[in-house]
Each structure stands twice: as structure tokens, then as C-alpha cells.
Chain A
């Protein structure tokens, strides 16, 4: 008597025959299985892996006599706190994505550190650039980037990237290396040098080059000047410029004229609550003057912008407002 075939074995034999007659099908199936396995092994999001910042680090071949020393480190998102213990907030306020950090040494042992910060946008990178530069250094003249060289460090900006190179001593040899690293890194950057439009609101006449500070939140503003402390003064973004005559102008952008009016009210109340001022005077054009010494503070509106001018005369405040209004019209 013939043995009845186990149904499972019958099915297996049918499957084998099916696959033997269809090699292309087998190939495609195998390929898909491999792809699925790789996808499962990979991190859920590409941003979890070291990315673009790492690729911008120059190699030894790009530098004369300087070479990477040790392994590069990459920090993304909240992990920035592991690198900048206690000082990461300002980067997050501007909008931080990742940073790649690499030490470089020359044959004599001089050391410099390169940090390549990938921010969320060109505006964020520009803001961090203005935060970290003094405005007193020497401008770089490298094509395609904006940069400033200080006594032992430099910063360059292009697109969404800010690169900082720091020499660990102030010797001429180390500064040479800092500049070489900066130049090599600058050559690898791409993107636009278009600044946030609010920056163009600053009147150009008499504006000190390098004095522009662009900010996107309270910390950035606090590091320029403590205006309206304790008040929830609302703004989307802002800029500050210093002028040769000692005047200082802030332009805060809000979402609408109504929001600008509300911000002005907050500023006025904060000034009144301050027990220092000699007076708070309101004018018909919705501006007010806050006097706690010299210079006085003039605060007023231009469409959706709140302007704050620290000047020694109201004529100068009026002039700055008028020029800024012309620059800001329709923005």
C-alpha cells in the first residue's frame, strides 16, 4: 500500500516546483527581503545619523601642515547639552540641528578645534553668527561666505552652516592654522548669504559694520541688552544696530499690526512698572518715551514692527524711525 503523503510535505513539494519554474520571481523576492532587512536595521530617521556637518570637515589634504587629531564627534538635537554643558540653550533658541567637532594639530603640536554647526535655516545660522562675532574683528575676504577673524578664533557663515575655529593658544602659528582651517571649511560650504529681511530695516547711514545682532528669542535679546525685563515682550525675530553717533536701534518683527500694538502695550507697562524711570511719556502716534537717564528710550510702531531707539535726542530717534520705516515698507 502506497504511503499517503503528509499534506504539509505535499504543499512543500508544490512550493518547490513553483519556485524552480520562476527564477526571476525568486530573485525579486530575495532582493526585497534584503532591502527590508536593511531598512529594519537602519535608524528610523536619517537625522539620527551623523550627516552633513561631518562631511564638511576638511581633510589633511586640504590643509598645509595641519591634520585631524583624534576622532570627530557629532552631537544632534538635545545631545548638544552633552557637548556644551550648561550653554546649549542659545543654539536651540536660534534653531540647532547638529554639530560636528574635530581637533586639528600641526607638526609642532599647535592645536585648533573646528566646530561645524548645521542650523535649521540660513536665518538661524546667520543669527548664531551674529551672536558669536564681536564686530571688532577682521572680516574674511573668502568668496561666498561672511566671516570674522578675532585674536584666536574665527567664525564663518553660509547657508544653514556656521563654522567656528578656535585656536587653543594665541601664538601666530596657531592663528595661521585657524585661518587655514577656516578657509578650507569655507570652501566646502554652499547656500545663500541672504539675510533675514528685518535686518535690511536698519538704516545704513552711520551704521557700525559688524554691530548687527539678529535674534529670535529672549536669550538672544538678553545677550544684547536687557529690555523690558520681566515682561513677556512678544516678537518673532529682531535685529539691533549700533551707530557712529552712539545711537542704538532695535527692530522687532511681529506677526501683524495688531500684534505690534499689543507688544507696544507690554513694553509701555513694563516701563511704567520699572521703579527707575524719570518718566514714561506717550505720544499720539502710539509711541512712547521711557526716560531713566541718558540716552532715553523711544519705542514706537511701524506697521507690524516695534522699533526701540536709544538715543540722546528725540530728533535722532525720529530720524532713525523715518529711515527704518522707509526700509521696512511693505515687508
Chain B
């Protein structure tokens, strides 16, 4: 999965594309590939690990997609994005999963692991997560929602966005692990790997994802989902590890709502395929979730169940 990368070649193509020199090597490679119009994938593999021990489920899911060493090299700098939007049950990434992933990164030889967030200290303290991050020797890095910490990044083949304002810290790492909790969302019915990336997009930029006349415009949700798809063209996580252990299926994203408890952790590189797998857990059809359908149409990944290889195992 992690191949050699010639830095001279990267510099040549970066100069042509106007890509910043400061990009981390791994993420730069992904961005260049996306910009160069890499062909849409034919198929995708998704791993589903089941257990009531959520940390073990996370370890198993990552092992099923090659193990953390396939993504985190010795001395790598790792950025992790989880969801801590609310402390209501079923709305945030479980502490056990975060702890297991930080440990896996450390065991793989990561030099530094940073858990990044645009939310406030209170969100982290309320869930006991700031202490957990410290215990595991990682760093919790909190940022303001706009300003100097963000970088304007071109969106290749953007339909609603030509550029995205993304947290610069993401590009200052070699590896970016995207760890949402999947759940209902009152705005567009579903949230998973693609929507979670709004957590590294600036606040003012996120507000433009909603049209001013959202109350009456029937195309507002389509606009929101297209903006999310465009954002995903500019930022490509190294690996997605989704908390599908316990989550709300109503009154999302904040809750409280009806809880579903499949006790699953789902991992994969293809965000469309992972989201398509997640949404079916509570009966949604991937083709009816606009961001999944458009993500597939626009080459971000695979939505067709016949082309997604889902492997499920108990941890």
C-alpha cells in the first residue's frame, strides 16, 4: 500500500500544479494523483469487524485491510480526526477505538500522533478524551475555525467549489486517519467518512455549503452534498476507520436519538464504498444518499454493492 515516492518527480509535478512545497509526502502524493485525474476505481474492499470489545474490533478491522504498518511508516507523523460533536450516546467516536488506533500507530513506529480538532476543549473534556490522548502519548491539537491555520487548496474537478479551506495541520503530516462515527443527520440523512472531513474545513467555508435560501431551495441539500464531495476531492485520508458500534439513527447529528448497536468497526480506503456499507446498516440505500451517489459518479469511489468486497469477521 505504501510505495516509494521520488521526491524529485514530486517537485516537478507539484510545480506544474502549483501545489505547496510544504505538503506532507504521503498526502501530497494522493493529491497529485487526484489532480492528475486518476481513473475511478473498479472495485473496493471494505473490512467489517464485529465485537463488543470496541478496541479489539478496531484492531481487527485495521488488520483486515493490511495492518497499520501498511499505512504508517517508521518515523511517520500521523494526524487523526475523530467526531466529538456531542456527548450524547451514539454521537461520538468511542474512546476505546481512539485508544486502540493511537496504540496501533505507535506500534507501527509513528514518531508523533496528533489528534486534530476544530471543536473546543470542553467537547474533549466532557468525554474524557483529552486525558486519554495524553495517557497514550499523543497530542491533542485544537484550532480556531478559521484564520491562519487554514490553507486554500485547489479542488480538482470541483462542481460547487473551486477551492477548499483546509486545516494546514492535515498537510503537515505523513498520514491522515479519518475516524468518524456513522449516524443520522437531520440535514442530509447520513454522515460518515465524507461528511466527517467538514471537521478539517474552515467554519466560514462550511457555511457556504448551505445556500442562503436553504429554507425554501429544494436543491440546497444537493448543494451541501456536492460541496462535501468536492471537499473530498481536495483531501484524501490515508485510511478510514469508522465507528459503527453504537450510533443514533434519528435526531442526528447531535442526538439524543434512537440507538442502533451493530458493534462494528468498518475500515477501508474507499470512502464511497465505506459510506455505502455504513448507510445500509440502518436501511438507507446508497443511491438515495446524494453525497454517496455523486461521490461514485465523480470518481471518488465505488457505490455498487456488486463491486464492493465486504469482508466481515468477529474480533
Contacts and interface: CB of A to CB of B under 8 A. Distances in A.
Interface of A: 84-87, 89-90, 93, 113, 131-132, 134, 150-153, 164, 166, 168-170, 217-219, 222-223, 226, 229-233
Interface string B276-304: 00000000000010000000000000000
Interface of B: 85-89, 119, 185-187, 189, 198, 206, 210, 214-222, 250-259, 288
Given A87-B185, A219-B186, A222-B189, A164 B221 contact: no
20 contacts: A84-B254, A86-B254, A87-B185, A87-B186, A87-B254, A131-B251, A132-B256, A134-B250, A134-B258, A153-B88, A166-B88, A166-B89, A168-B88, A218-B216, A219-B186, A226-B288, A229-B218, A230-B219, A232-B216, A233-B218
A150 B87 CA distance: 17
A87 B253 contact: yes
A93 to B, nearest CB: 6
Nearest to A169: B89
Contacts of A168: 87-89
Contacts of B255: 153, 166
Given A85-B119, A87-B252, A170-B89, A218 B186 contact: no
B87 A89 contact: no
B251 A218 contact: no
Contact of A222 (B85, B87, B221): B221
A153 B256 contact: yes
Contacts of A134: 250, 258
Contacts of A229: 218
Nearest to A266: B218
B210 A164 contact: no
A219 B218 CA distance: 10
Nearest to B89: A152
B198 to A, nearest CB: 7
A151 B186 contact: no
A189 B164 CA distance: 46
A219 B187 contact: yes
Contacts of A90: 186-187
B91 to A, nearest CB: 10
**Interface of chain B, helix or strand or loop or mixed?**
loop
Nearest to B123: A85
Nearest to B259: A151
4 nearest CB pairs, A to B = A153-B256, A166-B256, A90-B186, A87-B254
Nearest to A85: B85
B85 to A, nearest CB: 5
Contacts of B186: 87, 89-90, 131, 219, 223
A89 B214 contact: yes
Contacts of A152: 89, 256, 259
B253 A86 contact: yes
B129 to A, nearest CB: 14
A153 B255 CA distance: 10
Contacts of B215: 93, 217-218
Contact of B85 (A86, A153, A166, A230): A86
A293 B215 CA distance: 30
A25 to B, nearest CB: 54
A224 to B, nearest CB: 11
Given A86-B85, A86-B198, A113-B87, 7 more contacts: A85-B254, A86-B206, A87-B187, A152-B259, A153-B88, A170-B89, A218-B220
B180 to A, nearest CB: 12
A40 to B, nearest CB: 32
A218 B187 CA distance: 10
Contact of A150 (B214, B258, B288): B258
Nearest to B220: A218
A127 to B, nearest CB: 13
Contact of A218 (B210, B218, B256, B258): B218
A93 B189 CA distance: 16
Given A85-B119, A222-B189, A232 B218 contact: yes
Given A89-B210, A113-B87, A169-B89, A164 B256 contact: yes
A93 B210 CA distance: 14
B285 to A, nearest CB: 11
A113 B252 CA distance: 17
A177 to B, nearest CB: 14
Contacts of A153: 88, 255-256
A93 B220 CA distance: 14
